[in-house]
A and B are shown apart, each in its own frame.
Chain A
Amino acid sequence: MSLRTVQDSPVGVTANRQLTRPRKKTSPLGRQPLGLLFSAPYVVYVLGVLAFPLGYAVYISFHDYFFTAPGVQVDRPFVGLDNYVTILSDPAVQRSFLNILIFLVINVPLTVGLSLILANALNRVTRLRTFFRVSYFVPYITASVAVVGVWLFLFQENGLVNVLLGPLAPDPSWLVSSWLAMPTVALYVTWKQLGFFILLYLAALQNIPEELYESASVDGANKWAQFWNITVPGVRSASVLVTLLATITGANLFTEPYLLTGGGGPDGASSSPVFLMYQKGILQGNPDVAAALGVVLVLGVLLVALIQKRLVGGKED
């Protein structure tokens, strides 16, 4: 921000030169109107590919919309909330929202807890620090399609995980059990995203002044008390961000139910709203219903995010 101020109020040489050349200031489009041209491709992209479809999604969700050949003019009547009624009364949709809830209940606390603990440990250790950072980050940068392959191998009926568990192996196995399919997906996503969240916490931890810990230990607070009373409140804004991002990831699940549990199986026990959007909108040709599902999903995420911000954010906000 300080740079901004310098730029906005030119001093010294620059100011003198401007006094001699007042002509430049007269343009109604600013001193460098060419900036508009430089920004134009990006603005066109944002409006055409992001902003317009956003409105279009809402439009589609309120109309009886179906696919036609390009250029064909058809009547697509306004149907009010019909699509929303269809979506909300569909048991498969209700199940998918329940699945997301199960996912969030497992994934969010696990993500926040584990990434904070590991970031805290990483902040303390100097040896092999780069190695640890890199190894935690590798799952995050790898394609989900690739990693799903190895999870399928590990968690199949007679895979290594069940071999190691021996008699404790769940029956039916992880990915084909209606009880364990969604928790396994949640576990998978936690594992895959954790590295990114560790980095977020690491940055937040480095902003906590060392003196706080020093004075706390002079006052006789043990490490556990320091963790709860200094570290946890110190990274609160990062925690808000981590919960929010983890929730958005959860709402966006598609690849995992599609590949890991073979299309949201068993019997819809791990299907997700985005998977149903694909199924209903594109496979079954009901884009109107799918768009309504998208709108409901986004509203749901907003609601959950607001609740989380209240819970995690504390009173300062």
Chain B
Amino acid sequence: MARFKPHQEKTEKRRNLTVGSFLMLAVGAFVFLFPFYYMLIGSLQASPDTSVAGAFPNPANLSLENYTEINDRISLLIGLMNSGIFTGGVILCTVVFGLLVGYALAQMQFRGRGVVFGMMLLVQMIPFQLLLIPLYVMIARDYGLADSYLGMILPFAINSTAVFVFRQYFLQLPASLFEAARIDGASELRILWQIAIPLVRPAIVTAILLTFIGPWNEFLWPFLITKDAALQPLAVSLANYISNIAATASNPFGAILAGACVLAAPAIALFIFFQRQFISNNLGSSVKG
């Protein structure tokens, strides 16, 4: 009996604490999500309404005009396509070359393996701002790759975090599996393609997700390298709209927000669809790294 009371008191205290935590989290969620809701509402307003009532949908003030408005100035479709090619190129290089090096690092014995591994870890610490000027000099000036997809992709081509993820997954497969295949005379490429890759499919999903948000959201580099509007990713053309053109539009914020919705939607949709992989793995790789 003596033990019963403090226990009850404790559970009650714990419940209060949980309710407090829950309220705090709810406020947090509102602060994090409201701007996105407001982005959507603002993009649909025929005339901007910044009053409190404007935060709620008003059927009299709803239209898709802003989307046509911004589409007339910067082609959203071309922007999306360029973002897609830029991002797709990075993902393709990362998956193809990342799987090769990840497999080699995990399951092959060769001279220099330690050097490659150390390189992969060190590379993740190189600050991009230091590379900005020399990369611009090299890629835009020396190689003449300004205004080209290759020039956009090159600095991001192989995501080292994804290489690390691949290596970790391959490392978890038993070495005896590969020894056996080698003894049976299978070539390394065939072992990789037919045995190793099918076993690490989740790693590929993770790596694609992890790699996707980098180039899709990247602004600075494609902004420096593309002056030709027909080649600009959406983030760049939208930024140009915000800083140069918006002032001349009838409803500048509406048009900006419409563009913002189009830019944000693919990343958010992908994230919500794959949120399990995103959260658990992004976390795992960064903590382990």
Give A residues with C-beta under 8 Å from B.
3-4, 6-7, 10, 13-14, 17, 21, 28-36, 38-39, 41-43, 45-46, 49-50, 52-54, 56-57, 60, 65, 67-68, 70, 117-118, 120-122, 124-125, 127-128, 130-139, 141-154, 156, 158-160, 163-164, 191, 194-196, 199-200, 202-204, 217, 223, 238, 248, 251-252, 254-255, 258-259, 262-263, 273-274, 277-278, 281-282, 287, 290-291, 294-295, 297-298, 301
Cα distance A291–B171 in the bound complex, in angstroms: 40
Residues of A within 8 A of B231 (CB): none
Cα distance A136–B104 in the bound complex, in angstroms: 37
With A32-B108, A46-B119, A160-B54: A118-B28 Cβ-Cβ less than 8 Å: yes
Cα distance A217–B259 in the bound complex, in angstroms: 53
Query: B126: which of A54, A134, A138, A146 is its contact (CB, 8 Å)?
Result: A54
Cα distance A248–B219 in the bound complex, in angstroms: 17
**Beyond known contacts A32-B188, A36-B110: 11 more, CB 8 A cutoff:** A30-B109, A34-B108, A35-B113, A39-B112, A39-B116, A121-B24, A145-B239, A153-B253, A163-B51, A202-B283, A274-B220
Nearest CB on A from B57, distance (A): 15
Residues of A within 8 A of B18 (CB): 124-125
Nearest CB on B from A85, distance (A): 18
Query: B242: which of A121, A148, A194 is its contact (CB, 8 Å)?
Result: A148
Query: A36: which of B103, B112, B143, B213 is its contact (CB, 8 Å)?
Result: B112
Cα distance A112–B13 in the bound complex, in angstroms: 26
Cα distance A112–B251 in the bound complex, in angstroms: 39
Cα distance A84–B21 in the bound complex, in angstroms: 50
Residues 27-47 (chain B) with a chain A CB within 8 angstroms: 28-29, 31-33, 35-36, 38-39, 42
Cα distance A149–B35 in the bound complex, in angstroms: 10
The answer to whether A46 and B123 have CB atoms under 8 Å apart is yes
With A39-B116, A147-B264, A148-B242: A281-B109 Cβ-Cβ less than 8 Å: no
Residues of B within 8 A of A238 (CB): 287
The answer to whether A42 and B179 have CB atoms under 8 Å apart is no
What are 9 of the A-B contact pairs (CB < 8 Å)? A35-B104, A43-B119, A135-B28, A138-B32, A143-B235, A144-B217, A145-B239, A199-B282, A223-B13
Residues of B within 8 A of A139 (CB): 32, 35-36
Tell whether B58 is near chain A: CB-to-CB under 8 Å. no
Residues of A within 8 A of B52 (CB): 160, 163-164
Residues of A within 8 A of B284 (CB): 203
Chief secondary structure at chain A's binding surface = helix
Residues of B within 8 A of A56 (CB): 134, 137-138
Nearest CB on B from A195, distance (A): 7
With A32-B188, A200-B283: A138-B25 Cβ-Cβ less than 8 Å: no
Query: A294: which of B55, B132, B279 is its contact (CB, 8 Å)?
Result: B132
Residues 90-141 (chain B) with a chain A CB within 8 angstroms: 97-98, 100-101, 103-105, 107-113, 116, 119-120, 123, 126-138, 141
Nearest CB on B from A273, distance (A): 7
Interface centre among A33, A45, A238, A273 (most CB of B within 10 A): A45
- Please tell me the number of chain B residues within 8 Å of chain A, measured between CB atoms: 106
Nearest CB on B from A130, distance (A): 7
The answer to whether A217 and B10 have CB atoms under 8 Å apart is yes
Residues of B within 8 A of A65 (CB): 137
The answer to whether A29 and B111 have CB atoms under 8 Å apart is yes
Write the chain B residue with the least CB distance to A204. Answer: B287
Interface centre among A46, A223, A281 (most CB of B within 10 A): A46
Tell whether B86 is near chain A: CB-to-CB under 8 Å. no
With A138-B32, A153-B257, A259-B239: A42-B101 Cβ-Cβ less than 8 Å: yes
Residues of B within 8 A of A163 (CB): 50-52
With A144-B217, A146-B238, A150-B257: A49-B98 Cβ-Cβ less than 8 Å: no
Query: A151: which of B35, B107, B110 is its contact (CB, 8 Å)?
Result: B35
Query: B101: which of A39, A142, A143, A150 is its contact (CB, 8 Å)?
Result: A39
The 6 closest A-B pairs by CB, nearest first: A35-B110, A35-B108, A121-B21, A30-B110, A53-B134, A143-B217
Residues of B within 8 A of A153 (CB): 38, 42, 48, 50, 253, 256-257
Residues of A within 8 A of B220 (CB): 254-255, 274, 278
The answer to whether B129 and A274 have CB atoms under 8 Å apart is yes
Residues of A within 8 A of B2 (CB): none
Cα distance A60–B283 in the bound complex, in angstroms: 37
Tell whether B158 is near chain A: CB-to-CB under 8 Å. yes
Tell whether B67 is near chain A: CB-to-CB under 8 Å. no
Cα distance A137–B10 in the bound complex, in angstroms: 33
With A160-B55, A291-B134: A138-B268 Cβ-Cβ less than 8 Å: yes
Residues 155-194 (chain B) with a chain A CB within 8 angstroms: 155, 157-158, 160, 163, 171-172, 174-176, 179, 183, 188
Nearest CB on B from A49, distance (A): 6
Interface centre among A29, A255, A262 (most CB of B within 10 A): A255
Write the chain A residue with the least CB distance to B261. Answer: A146
Residues of A within 8 A of B179 (CB): 10, 14, 17
Cα distance A128–B129 in the bound complex, in angstroms: 39
The answer to whether A138 and B271 have CB atoms under 8 Å apart is yes
